[in-house]
């Protein structure tokens, strides 16, 4: 069955975290979350729908569930949509996961720790499937973007305290956090179908806005470095390359040829001063395979970080970034 994909499309009950779980360092050296998955169940007469609890698959291969997480998305009026899963997001370091609880509260759970519930009115009323969740690589910040017919600006939260630290303009579509989590990269649809690339501080202050050159615009969303101004894109395929772009100066940087494993770009993150981490998705033999590589932007050197196959009964999944 074809698996649908999300990059980031999601307390009283206890979660059975693996007892050995602990914080990982730069290379996912210790156990952490690889991805969250929800099971696919057949529908009478054909088709499938999401069912069961959200499952967390660890780097060790261990699995656990999120029994307090909403599985099927709730409509704005509180009714259940049986065919669309509630959103979920996993931080790049695999230490935190954001989701809606069964009581409708936005929550962030820390691996080996507790749950931080956000305020009941943290977001304007929307169907849950109209909310996109994105965590920073370290899980310290959460961007929750209510869209729908009346888009509202993304709310930025401190996941340790649950406090809102900023709001982006309604027209800004969050692409992701910068390498250090202090800024956000977003796209804005301007007049005549022009896509603008905008960098914001975590408080919502606009840092730079530019209409990027075609090589950047055609391969968005990209990734924003820790300096808050250097964007990067990755072109996959036979002639794969990385391209950096100084948003503040509107200047293209190096184009670096790279040799990549098979797959299309699922996620791209800055994970060092001169390092990009790319998640590449492929479907060999009908299986859904994720390959993660580190790319040196100065030399073009590519190193394999991880490779795994998504659970075959998956309806939809959210991978860690970073």
Q: What is the pLDDT of residue 112?
A: 86
- With vertex at residue 113, the alpha carbon angle to CA 108 and CA 116, rounded to the nearest 5 degrees, is 30
Domain that holds residue 168: 4-319
Q: Report the chain's C-alpha Rg in angstroms.
A: 19
Tokens standing for residue 314: 């998956």
8 A C-beta contact, residue 34 and residue 316:
no
Q: Give 8's strand partners.
A: none
Q: What is the pLDDT of residue 191?
A: 82
Record the pTM.
Answer: 0.88
As a whole number of angstroms, the distance between CA 131 and CA 152 comes to: 10
Look at the chain and report how many structural domains it folds into.
1
pLDDT in tens, the chain (322 residues): 334 334 333 322 223 333 223 333 333 447 899 999 999 999 998 899 999 999 999 999 999 999 899 999 999 999 999 999 999 999 999 999 999 999 999 999 999 889 999 999 999 999 999 999 999 999 999 999 999 888 899 999 999 999 999 999 999 999 999 999 999 999 999 887 889 999 999 999 999 999 999 999 999 889 999 999 999 999 988 899 999 999 999 999 989 999 999 999 999 999 999 999 999 999 998 899 999 999 999 999 999 999 999 999 999 999 998 7
As a whole number of angstroms, the distance between CA 72 and CA 128 comes to: 9
CATH classification at residue 235: 2.120.10
Put the strands of the sheet holding 230-235 in their side by side order.
223-224, 230-235, 241-246, 251-257
Q: What is the pLDDT of residue 132?
A: 96
φ, ψ of residue 284 to 5 degrees: the values are: -70, 130
Tokens standing for residue 6: 């999300």
8 A C-beta contact, residue 146 and residue 131:
yes
Q: What is the pLDDT of residue 5?
A: 38
As a whole number of angstroms, the distance between CA 64 and CA 38 comes to: 12
As a whole number of angstroms, the distance between CA 45 and CA 62 comes to: 34
């Amino acid at each position: 069955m074809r698996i649908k994909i999300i990059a980031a499309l999601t307390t009283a009950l206890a979660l059975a975290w693996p007892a050995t779980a602990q914080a990982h360092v730069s290379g996912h050296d210790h156990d952490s979350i690889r991805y969250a998955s929800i099971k696919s169940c057949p529908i009478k007469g054909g088709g499938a729908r999401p069912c069961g609890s959200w499952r967390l698959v660890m780097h060790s291969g261990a699995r656990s569930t999120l029994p307090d997480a909403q599985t099927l998305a709730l409509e704005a009026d509180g009714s259940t949509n049986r065919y669309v899963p509630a959103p979920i997001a996993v931080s790049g370091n695999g230490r935190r996961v954001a989701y809606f609880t069964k009581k409708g509260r936005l929550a962030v759970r820390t691996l080996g720790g507790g749950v931080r519930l956000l305020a009941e009115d943290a977001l304007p009323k929307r169907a849950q499937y109209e909310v996109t969740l994105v965590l920073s690589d370290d899980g310290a910040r959460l961007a929750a973007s209510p869209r729908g017919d009346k888009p509202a600006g993304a709310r930025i939260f401190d996941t340790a305290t649950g406090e809102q630290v900023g709001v982006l303009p309604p027209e800004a579509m969050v692409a992701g956090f910068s390498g250090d989590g202090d800024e956000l990269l977003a796209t804005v649809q301007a007049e005549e179908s022009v896509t603008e690339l905008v960098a914001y501080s975590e408080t919502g202050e606009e840092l730079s806005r530019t209409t990027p050159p075609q090589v950047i615009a055609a391969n968005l969303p990209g990734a924003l470095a820790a300096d808050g101004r250097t964007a990067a894109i990755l072109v996959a395929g036979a002639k794969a390359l990385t391209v950096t772009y100084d948003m503040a100066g509107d200047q293209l940087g190096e184009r670096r040829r790279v040799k990549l494993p098979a797959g299309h770009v699922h996620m791209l993150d800055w994970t060092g001063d001169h390092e990009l981490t790319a998640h590449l998705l492929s479907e060999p033999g009908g299986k859904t395979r994720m390959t993660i590589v580190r790319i040196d932007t100065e030399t073009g050197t590519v190193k394999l970080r991880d490779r795994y196959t998504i659970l075959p009964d998956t309806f939809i999944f959210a991978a860690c970034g970073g």
